[in-house]
Amino acid sequence: MSRIKLPYISLPHEFLILMKANFSTAPTATSIIEVIKDNRAIYKIFEMSLAEFSDGQNLEKAINVLGWSNFKERIASIFLHKEIYGDYSFKTHMHLIEEIKVFETRFRDHSVTSFSRLFLLGFYLKLANMELLLLEDTAHIDLQFGSDIDTIINLSQGRSEKIDWLLLIVFHLNFFLGHEQLSHCLKQGLSFEQIYHLVSPNDQLIMSQNLLAYGASIKETDFFLFEKV
């Protein structure tokens, strides 16, 4: 029987800080550099990889030219290139993050716009699927969010600050209970805590282990399951 497995992924520290930050306005080049300046290796890699946007000046110029959204996408492509090919590239490869951008756009209307947690989850899922593929373990399903998830999320009201956690919870409940039962429960006004107790003890354990693995990957120790997301 197919199972869901979310592996622990070691994600870049500076990237995590930027993705989880609550930017009420687009972050400035100064605030971004403040996050990464202490890691001189990463700073230099970014500077070299983004040199085409700085006219041979510095990283701050490149960030100002690109803007936050474009900068975020390009540094993600730098990290993905390292993961896929084993070394850093001295240019960015935007094709590597196309599916992450699609994922972010797909659920954007349900996320608080000052956060980049959708992009963070998409980045994690891409790396997680790569790891599961390397393991060649056919018992574990590909971590793809089918159209059922859109239907479930559309039942919710408002926007979520931690949309990544919400999507992962819905993904698991949809897998364990089925789309029809989960939709019915939500339309009846049941909370996620109430719905969780409809899941078998074994599946509850799998769900908890997977969410803990994600929490460890993004370095969130204030792990939660049922608080408001």
pTM: 0.91
| pLDDT digit string, tens, across residues 143-187 | 789 899 999 999 877 788 899 999 999 999 999 999 999 999 999
| pLDDT digit string, tens, across residues 31-50 | 999 999 999 999 999 999 99
**pLDDT of 218:** 96
Pairwise CA distance, residues 63 & 89, whole Å? 18
Single-letter code of the amino acid located at 50? L
**pLDDT of 141:** 60
**pLDDT of 223:** 58
Q: Do residues 229 and 171 lie in contact, with contact meaning Cβ atoms separated by under 8 Å?
A: no
Please identify every stretch of the chain with a pLDDT value under 70, giving residue numbers as ranges. 1-2, 24, 136-142, 222-229
Own/partner long-range contacts of 130-133 (Cβ < 8 Å, ≥24 apart): 130/83, 130/84, 131/7, 131/9, 132/5, 132/7
Beta bridge partners of 3: 140
